[in-house]
Chain A
Amino acid sequence: MVNRNPVIAVIGAGIAGLEAARQLADLGYSPVLIEKEPAVGGHVAQWNRLFPDMTPAAEVIDALKKQTAKIRTLLGTEIASINRLKDGFSLVLTDGTSLLCQAVLFATGFQLFNAAKKEEYGYGIYDRVITNRDLEAWFNTRKDKRIKQPEAVGFVHCVGSRDLKAGNTQCSKVCCITAIKQAIEIKEEFPDAEVYCFYMDLRLFGKKYEDFYIKAQRDYGIHFIRGRVSEVGEAIDGRVVVKAEDTLNGKPVKVTLDLLVLMAGVVCNPDAQHYARQVGVSVDDDGFLKSRDNIAAITESSRPGVFFAGACTGAKTIPETLAEARSAALNIHHYFNKRK
């Protein structure tokens, strides 16, 4: 006899976890959100505005929060161990309690690539080098001594993405459009600043992304230079000197900047890899969790009762993540229906 109201452990209360939990609750299940941070919302909650419509991130998060208010949510809680049982799972949590559930949904998301690992870019060494996350935090708080009436600002795409040496050969997918969004925001803030984007390829695949790019060019005069930044040094006045090849011109190019923003890429959350091993789910070559099928079953693992949603299987945009969360909820629903 299957539990009429199965419990589903949703690991991670970022947007994937929140959306999936909401859908599961609507479908009559009992999701439990387990979040290691003291608040829900994950990376998106720390962002300021979202492309392509400049929607405040808080709007998205607030809506999700409201919709999941009644769902059992364990904040500041990590998983000590997961054991597979005959027809379910037993989770031991770091608060000392344990949780029995009939299915596990990984909504563990991603981790931002540690930009300090790209040593030649000098993050953590040169003051004027910051990351996309640092800049987003500044949009939120306006507190960062490094950002003060800059006259020249640069964005480096693909920091820790598409980079064999950084251990991540994948495209992080969202950085191109994030760079353009942030470049526009910098231009809005400091209209007289020269803004440069250094890119290898511009991968603007999403709805309205290309329009956003045209806007950045035509309305904001942002300079796009096709060349991967090779090295960053510090000038005597503390500004940074950036070197790349202007490949469309076939010449080395250098520019001195007041601020350099590194578009740190997306890598798998190491917690996810750790939990995956415990439930017998494999990690793919790219470091992300391995789906049963990369086309037809992206939200399913190869093991019964274990499902995925969002960036735990690879870099995703927000709409993709939300769609996957719904899809995962439906997969879980079918899974229990079949067992009846």
Chain B
Amino acid sequence: MIYQGKQKIWADYQKEIPDDHWFYVRSCIRQNFFPASEKYFLAICRDQLGRDIYESEHHTTCAGIAYHCDTIPQETAMTVVARQFALMTEAGYENLVTSCITSFGNYTEILETWRQFPELEEKVREHLWKACRREFKKPKYVAHASDLMYKLRGEIAERAHFQLVHRATGEPLRIVEHIGCHYSKMFPHKGVGGAEYPCVLSGMAESWGGRVIDYPERRHCCGFGFRQYFVKANRGYSLSNTHKKFESMEPYRPDVIITNCPGCPYFLDRWQYVISEMEGKTYGQNGYGIPVLTYEELAGLVLGVDPWDLGLQVHQVAVEPLLDKIGIPYDPARKYLGMDEKKIMTPGLPTSLKCF
């Protein structure tokens, strides 16, 4: 591989990401399955690095999952998004940052469609006025939360407690990056690094000491497929696609997978569990899986946040081997505690996949 070739492409797809003043909209999947990631997005960008990020309690889902499961018409999806724009406008913000990749793709697609078909924008404005008596200005800039963290990666590196290197050997960690499909596949110029060699995650990983692996199925979808997962009868599709990715990355012996999409870390994590149950196969070392982290979890670890405060215990694949490699201390006894250090029951263990 010729690294400079990639750098050349990265240079072509740099976005001018505004530095400050963001209206934040949350992700349905992440709130359910990676609640601490959103917490630490704000804790890092807002509290630690001092950026102004505002959240309205009145914002809702963007309905993107329903849109891509085809259960609502396009105009419904657009008007729900228009309402979020109205909340942003009312709060006095012009830059919108989304926690979810499907939302990011959805917002971007909507703005692009309106640009091409202004009559549709007019219609949606009318719908929103009739339904909610709200008006909106379109955002000046729409970013995904990973864009912002990519922009702040240097500031995070300056404050790093840990490097993404093997403590024992000093070698950089081997990192697989997995980019959500709706980040840049529809609009390559909206993603840092474009669609073929996005650098939004690899940029973070490299700034914090890791080395990114380029494997043949790098660009393949995790297999979520919206209706292909939500309907139980279809989940073979989802599983098969993830399996294909793991078979492709396995020879590279990755230490960790990082993701910027809400669904991908859930699927890349849980399907490892399912494959181990179905076929007895595990992809990590010594019977463990390959840990799958969100970019906030990765940033949190680098910044020295306690792994259990970051929510790494709600992953099915054990993260302890990764923490040990980096040399991040953790207290096993605190892993499954409830609020205020309260002792609660602990989760059951899989049959085949090694966990703690």
Contact = CB atoms under 8 A, between A and B. Distances in A.
A125 B216 contact: no
Contact of A127 (B2, B218, B219): B2
A116 B12 CA distance: 12
A233 B216 contact: yes
B112 interface: no
B251 A125 contact: no
Interface residues on B, range: 10 to 19
A92 interface: no
Given A233-B216, A234-B214, A127 B1 contact: yes
Contacts of B219: 231, 233
Interface string A156-169: 00000000000000
A125 B6 contact: yes
B16 to A, nearest CB: 21
B252 A125 contact: no
A253 to B, nearest CB: 14
B196 interface: yes
B1 to A, nearest CB: 6
A126 B215 contact: no
Contact of B5 (A116, A233, A235): A116
Contacts of A123: 5
A165 B317 CA distance: 41
Contacts of B251: 236
B197 A234 contact: no
A119 B194 contact: yes
Contact of A124 (B5, B214, B215, B218): B5
Interface in B160-216: 194-197, 214-216
Contact of A234 (B1, B9, B194): B1
B8 interface: yes
Contacts of B6: 125
A120 to B, nearest CB: 5
A112 to B, nearest CB: 18
B194 A233 contact: no
B277 to A, nearest CB: 28
B216 A235 contact: yes
A152 interface: no
Which residue, B2, B217, B252, has most C-beta atoms of chain A within 10 A? B2
Contacts of A236: 215, 251-252
B202 to A, nearest CB: 13
B217 A125 contact: no
A124 B8 CA distance: 9
A29 B176 CA distance: 67
A200 interface: no
Nearest to A124: B5
Given A125-B2, A126-B1, A119 B214 contact: no
Contacts of A126: 1-2
A204 interface: no
Contacts of A127: 1-2
B1 A116 contact: no
A135 B2 CA distance: 19
A233 B2 contact: no
B9 A119 contact: yes
A231 B219 CA distance: 9
A236 B252 CA distance: 7
Contact of A125 (B195, B197, B215): B197
A120 B185 CA distance: 12
A241 B216 contact: yes
A120 B196 contact: yes
Contacts of B197: 119, 125
Nearest to B252: A236
A124 B9 CA distance: 10
Nearest to A242: B216
A233 B8 CA distance: 18
Interface in A116-135: 116, 119-120, 122-127
Nearest to A120: B196
Nearest to A240: B216
A134 to B, nearest CB: 14
Nearest to A231: B219
Nearest to B249: A236
A169 B276 CA distance: 48
A119 B196 contact: yes
Interface in B1-36: 1-2, 5-6, 8-9
Contacts of A122: 5
B5 A125 contact: yes
Given A124-B2, A126-B2, A236-B251, A116 B196 contact: no
Interface in A200-241: 231, 233-236, 241
Nearest to B4: A124
B343 to A, nearest CB: 46
A72 B219 CA distance: 55
A188 B251 CA distance: 35
Interface in B85-137: none
Interface string B291-332: 000000000000000000000000000000000000000000
Nearest to B2: A125
Contact of B8 (A116, A120, A234): A116
Contacts of B8: 116, 124
A120 B220 CA distance: 13
B217 A233 contact: yes
18 contacts: A116-B8, A119-B9, A119-B194, A119-B195, A124-B2, A124-B5, A125-B5, A127-B1, A231-B196, A233-B214, A233-B215, A233-B216, A233-B218, A233-B219, A234-B1, A234-B214, A236-B215, A236-B251
Given A116-B5, A119-B9, 9 more contacts: A120-B196, A124-B2, A125-B6, A126-B1, A233-B215, A233-B217, A233-B219, A234-B1, A234-B216
Minimum-distance CB pairs A-B, first 10: A233-B216, A125-B5, A124-B5, A119-B196, A241-B216, A236-B251, A120-B196, A125-B2, A125-B6, A235-B216
